[in-house]
Structure 1
Amino acid sequence: MNTIFDDFKNAFRRGDNGVVQLILINLIVYLVINFLLVISAISNNGNALSQFLLMNLALPAPVLSFLVKPWTLITYFFTHEGFWHILWNMLFLYWFGNLVKEYLGNRRFVNVYILGGISGGVLYLLMYNLVPYFVNNQPYLGLIGASGAVYAVVVAAATLIPNYTFNLLLIGPVRIVYIAAFYVVASFFGLAGGNAGGNLAHLGGAVIGFLFIRQLHRGTDLGRPITYLADKFNGLFQRKPKLRVTHNGKPTTRTRRATGTSGKPDQQEIDAILDKISHSGYESLTKEEKQKLFSASQNQRE
């Protein structure tokens, strides 16, 4: 048992392990919800415990309900109830997330996921409060699932490296731009179906995934606010390094923030590399170009 907990701790200690960390968070929430579902069932409480948790994690459609529970704009895209729902979301997150992480770095991958989830939630709220068709068909529970965030990652990967191919069972090699396009179109057609809210989140996430890469090519990182907030949050739990200095012959201890040079490649170089990936794929990069791209993603502190 200790080995399992050690594996979990090691997964979260690594700073470049965003794909696994996000999958684990989704998995933990899923297991807690379904554990409570079992406990409720055997204690003759129906599903009261799991429903109470879901109601406080799901994004409600009525805007007044959302204003009472604003945290749900974040928690909803870490929450799943059904097995197949979380399975497919986590598989797509793993497949496409590792691509985004490899090309843009861990931080930007996590930023795409979070921005995609928020964007999907915002579109869901807007449509269910402004468009009569959706207003008249508001779901009881609200919105749950990482699909919007995952769609952002999928579309970001397809926008960045459209010619990258996956070998699909019974089909063969398919470029990821076609895979992404298929799921986006299917989500649009599904707006009139039973999972309209989920499909709205898909489309909201897809839009932010596309815009994130396009703006990155123009030198604008849409994930800057997420990175800034994450740095501030992490700074609350980090001790400032202590330096021993000598003043008038007496050693004293002072605390200051450590600084250093980032050694980042020039932004124009990175833009040129990203353009090359977009047109010819990651495999076309030289070893030096891959090193520069990796260095830029690791040193990104915006």
Structure 2
Amino acid sequence: MARGNLQYNFARLNIAEKLIVVNVLVFILDGLALALLGKSVVDWFQLPKDFIEFFGQPWSLVTYSFFHAGFGHIFWNMLMLYFTGRIFMNLFNGQRFINVYFLGVILGGIVFLLSYNIFPTLLGTNSVLIGASAGVTAVLIFICTYIPNQDVRIIFFNVKLWHVGAFFVLVDLIQIAYGGNIGGRLAHLGGALLGYIYARQLLNGNDIGVGFTKFRDAIAEPFKPKKKKAPLKTVYKKNTPKKRSTADYDKEANQRKIDAILDKISKSGYESLSKAEKDFLFKAGKED
């Protein structure tokens, strides 16, 4: 019963809330693995800076976003994901949210990889990327670009959404300038760029996530349960002569009588009919 309730409650969540649940579960399970086995499983899923290592685990371009470095890291990411997700889901469906979020994750990861391989000495020793920040930033900048003048409540006062987006981008730029987690900050900016471009294109009537939706559907198709087709049944009919009922015989007899009366009318006129014939013809006409 408890398992059924959990599944029911999870199914009722929107996609942003489901992502929060998954991220928290991964964080807890990774912590348990570290405590019980003395080793984290993150090594298999984090995004390495080296291209050779990346080619050995290409899935890490997406999976890195489900792992976090500590409680503060996941807390602020999930808090931001919750609030931005609520605004986003009031505007669009879950499919578009997935597109914006994971395309932000992917572009953020690509920016991280390229940056470390183009400017290895500049970016320092931070050699891996983990965290949902690129996807969260993509969603944030998307809504800030799509509805920039929407008011949001920040503690005791209202601000425009574009002010919020500009603040977070500015913080990342300042952190890069002062050398704080440059690779991670560049990944944030990659997500921000995706969110901005996606929203601007959507405002112009172009959904750049359509191809990504088709790609996801193609990957998911083999894992979908196939509907079983009911076997075709061949029905054999016996060509047995049908038994004629009494009603069939009565109907034929009446029709012959009607034909005879009509033939008589055509030859001698209606007045030549007897009262019984007239009554019969009248009743037959009412039945038709």
TM-score of the alignment, normalized to the shorter chain, above 0.5: yes
| Aligned mate of 2:26, from 26, 29, 36 | 29
* Secondary structure of 2:148's aligned partner: coil
AA paired with 1:181?
Answer: A
| Aligned mate of 2:163, from 152, 155, 178 | 178
AA paired with 1:72?
Answer: S
Aligned to 2:212: 226
| Aligned mate of 1:191, from 176, 179, 197 | 176
Aligned to 2:7: 9
AA paired with 1:30?
Answer: F
C-alpha distance in 2 between matches for 1:20 and 1:179 = 21
Please say if residues 141 and 196 of structure 2, whose CA atoms lie closer than 8 Å, have aligned partners that are also in contact: yes
Tell me: CA distance 1:55–1:226, structure 2 relative to 1, closer, same or farther (3 Å).
same
Aligned to 2:226: 239
TM-score by structure 1 length? 0.71
* Secondary structure of 1:173's aligned partner: strand
Please say if residues 34 and 81 of structure 1, whose CA atoms lie closer than 8 Å, have aligned partners that are also in contact: no
C-alpha distance in 2 between matches for 1:229 and 1:11 = 29
| Aligned mate of 1:49, from 20, 32, 39 | 39
Structure 2: stretches of 5+ with no match in the other structure: 238-288
| Aligned mate of 2:79, from 78, 91, 110 | 91
AA paired with 2:33?
Answer: L
Which deviations, in whole Å up to 9, do the C-alpha atoms of 1:69-121 show, x marking residues without a partner? 11110111111131111111111111011211221211101111100000100
TM-score by structure 2 length? 0.74
AA paired with 2:39?
Answer: L
Shift of 1:220: 2.1
Shift of 1:244: 8.5
Please say if residues 18 and 109 of structure 1, whose CA atoms lie closer than 8 Å, have aligned partners that are also in contact: yes
Shift of 1:122: 0.4
Shift of 1:242: 4.2
Aligned to 1:112: 100
* Secondary structure of 2:158's aligned partner: strand
Aligned to 1:277: none
Please say if residues 85 and 145 of structure 1, whose CA atoms lie closer than 8 Å, have aligned partners that are also in contact: yes
Aligned to 1:75: 63
C-alpha distance in 2 between matches for 1:37 and 1:246 = 58
Shift of 1:144: 0.5
AA paired with 1:164?
Answer: Q
AA paired with 1:188?
Answer: L
* Secondary structure of 1:163's aligned partner: coil
Matched pairs, number? 235
Shift of 1:217: 2.0
Please say if residues 11 and 20 of structure 1, whose CA atoms lie closer than 8 Å, have aligned partners that are also in contact: no
C-alpha distance in 2 between matches for 1:211 and 1:221 = 10
State the Cα RMSD in Å: 2.3
C-alpha distance in 1 between matches for 2:147 and 2:233 = 54
Quick one: percent identity of the two aligned structures?
37
C-alpha distance in 2 between matches for 1:215 and 1:239 = 36
Which deviations, in whole Å up to 9, do the C-alpha atoms of 1:150-193 show, x marking residues without a partner? 00000001111112222112x41111211111001110111142
Aligned to 1:128: 116
* Secondary structure of 1:187's aligned partner: helix
Please say if residues 156 and 212 of structure 1, whose CA atoms lie closer than 8 Å, have aligned partners that are also in contact: yes
AA paired with 1:185?
Answer: L
Tell me: CA distance 1:244–1:190, structure 2 relative to 1, closer, same or farther (3 Å).
same
Aligned to 1:63: 51
Shift of 1:247: 8.1
Please say if residues 47 and 54 of structure 2, whose CA atoms lie closer than 8 Å, have aligned partners that are also in contact: yes
Please say if residues 146 and 203 of structure 2, whose CA atoms lie closer than 8 Å, have aligned partners that are also in contact: no
Aligned to 1:256: none
Structure 1: stretches of 5+ with no match in the other structure: 41-47, 251-302
AA paired with 1:173?
Answer: N
Please say if residues 126 and 181 of structure 2, whose CA atoms lie closer than 8 Å, have aligned partners that are also in contact: no
Please say if residues 68 and 130 of structure 2, whose CA atoms lie closer than 8 Å, have aligned partners that are also in contact: yes
Shift of 1:206: 0.3
C-alpha distance in 1 between matches for 2:77 and 2:101 = 12
Aligned to 2:126: 139
Shift of 1:233: 3.7
AA paired with 1:201?
Answer: A
Aligned to 1:297: none
C-alpha distance in 2 between matches for 1:101 and 1:221 = 16
